[in-house]
Amino acid sequence: MESDLLDTFGWRKDERPDDGRLGRIVRVDRGECDVVTEEGQLRVLSDSQRSQGLVAPATGDWVVVVDDLELGPVISRVLERTNTVSRRDPSEEVVEQVLVANVDLVLIVHGLDRPLPVGRLERFLVVGWDSGAEVVVVLTKADSEPTAALEVAATVRALAPDIEVLTVGLGDDRSGHDLVAALMEPGKTVALLGESGAGKSTLINALVGDELLATGAVRASDAKGRHTTVSRELVLRPGGGLLVDTPGIRAVGIWDAEDSLARVFGDLEERSTECRFADCVHDAEPDCAVRSEVAAGRVDRRRVERYRSLRSELAEQRKREVDRERRVSRGRRR
């Protein structure tokens, strides 16, 4: 049935907007987006609208598309998001960059062929949890790095005891991919986060490609369909669910993430309540409960340093936001 297509792409409400065609963004380029609608995939303009105050559309967004006599199909509005995976825009000081919108599960993807800096994992966890989505860590390249797999899994668990850690590799052992596939279900949106080279695209191809083969010759011989599958950012998995490939991110500036910071560093936040000063930054203040934990050897000093630096990053961000608000409102008054 034609009207089921957008449901498979994750639409969950009974009602659909009636002021244009409903669609989901599967790819964003400069000024243009690919949008899947019931009538198929459309290339639409988004920039001209943005200047009119439209929220900058992101991959995963639900949008209403209308036909402009001159411009062709354009996005008339972005529907309210259930959540976003966001970071601080690396090119600007205080702007949020939405990587993916409307996400149910975030996979933090790490390649075992390289070290896993704990600080980066903490940032990815903060960004993932802050979206409100479920978060799972996937370690790739276990085929060539079997020992690293155990070590890194232990590192992750030390940092986030409750988190699920899955391990995948190329080769005959498909059990890891099966476990990732088991996390998916029809209409569920899964975003992959990780630096470039981590193995995100390979993992998506493994999850989608097998399904394509499994669905038979018609599908597998549809070379055009396969090509678009690979070039999109948001991909429909024939067996159910959607996978979103994000461009590799190395620098994850955290954004507006106080709550998930508390989740990653819950023990330290709890200790902080025993510091003499409520605004203690655990540096040189007297009677600092966090530093006394370090002195007693119960907490790693470097972990406290990373915590402090993320805290001050957030505080700095807040301050700049306030400054900018002031500038903006001064500008308005003039």
Ligand X SMILES: Nc1nc2c(ncn2[C@@H]2O[C@H](COP(=O)(O)OP(=O)(O)O)[C@@H](O)[C@H]2O)c(=O)[nH]1
Residues that bind Mg ion (CB under 5 A): 201
Tell the smallest beta-carbon distance from residue 269 to Mg ion (Å).
35
Q: Which is nearer to ligand X, 153 or 281 (CB)?
A: 153
Taking CB under 5 A as the binding criterion, the range among 29-37, 166-174, 218-226, 274-282 that sits at the site for Zn ion is 274-282
Q: Which is nearer to ligand X, 140 or 189 (CB)?
A: 140
- Rounded to the nearest angstrom, the gap between the alpha carbon of residue 175 and the centroid of all alpha carbons in its chain is 24
Residues 131 and 106: their CA atoms lie apart, in Å, by 9
8 Å CB contact between 106 and 191 = yes
Q: What is the DSSP letter of 215?
A: T
Work out what residue 288 binds among Zn ion, Mg ion, ligand X, none; the CB cut-off runs from 5 to 8 Å by kind: Zn ion
Taking CB under 5 A as the binding criterion, the range among 40-48, 56-64, 92-100, 281-289 that sits at the site for Zn ion is 281-289
Tell the smallest beta-carbon distance from residue 212 to ligand X (Å).
17
Residues 170 and 203: their CA atoms lie apart, in Å, by 9
Q: Encode 138-147: b = buried (16+ Cβ within 10 Å), e = exposed.
A: bbbbbbebee
Work out what residue 282 binds among Zn ion, ligand X, Mg ion, none; the CB cut-off runs from 5 to 8 Å by kind: Zn ion
Work out what residue 143 binds among Zn ion, ligand X, Mg ion, none; the CB cut-off runs from 5 to 8 Å by kind: ligand X
Work out what residue 85 binds among Zn ion, ligand X, Mg ion, none; the CB cut-off runs from 5 to 8 Å by kind: none
Q: Whose CA is closest to 202, among 154, 160, 234, 170?
A: 170
Q: Kindly give the interhelix angle for 146-159 and 118-130, rounded to the nearest 10 degrees.
A: 60
Binding Zn ion by CB under 5 A: which of 139, 152, 193, 290? 290
Between CA 132 and CA 141, with CA 204 as vertex, the angle to 5 degrees is 100
Is residue 280 a contact residue for Zn ion (CB under 5 A)?
A: yes
Tell me how many residues contact Zn ion (CB under 5 A): 5
Is residue 165 a contact residue for Zn ion (CB under 5 A)?
A: no
Written as one letter, the residue type at 327 is R
Partners of 230 in the β-ladder: none
Binding site for ligand X (CB under 6 A): 140-141, 143-144, 168-170, 194, 196-202, 248
Q: Which is nearer to ligand X, 177 or 311 (CB)?
A: 177
Residues 327 and 139: their CA atoms lie apart, in Å, by 45
* Residues of the shown chain interacting with Zn ion in the complex, contacts defined by CB under 5 A: 275, 280, 282, 288, 290
